[in-house]
Amino acid sequence: MKPENQELAREPEMILVGGKWIRGSGALEIRNPFDAQLVATVSTGTAADVRDAIQAAAASLESDFPAHRRYEVLMAAADRVEAQKEDYALAIASEGSKTIREARREPVRAASILRLSAEEGRRICGETLPFDSRAGSENRVGYWFRFPVGIVGAIAPFNDPLAVAAHKIGPALAAGNAVVLKPASATPLSALHLARDLTESGLPDGRLSVIPGYAGELGQAIVTDPRVRLITFTGGVAAGTWIAGQAGVKKQMLELGSNSPVIVLPDAVLERAVPAIAAGAFAQAGQNCLGVQRILVHEDVYDVFSRLFVAHAGKLRAGSSLDEATDVCAMINEREAARVEDWIREAIAAGATVLAGGRRDGTTVWPTVLEGVPEGVRLDCEEVYGPVASLYRVSSLDDAIDVANRVDYGLHAAIFTESLRPAFAAARRLNVGAVIVNDSTDYRLDVMPFGGTKMSGIGREGIRFAVQEMTETRVVCLNL
Count how many Cα atoms sit within 13 Å of the Cα of residue 449 in the half-sphere of its side chain: 14
Give the active site residues. Answer: 255, 289
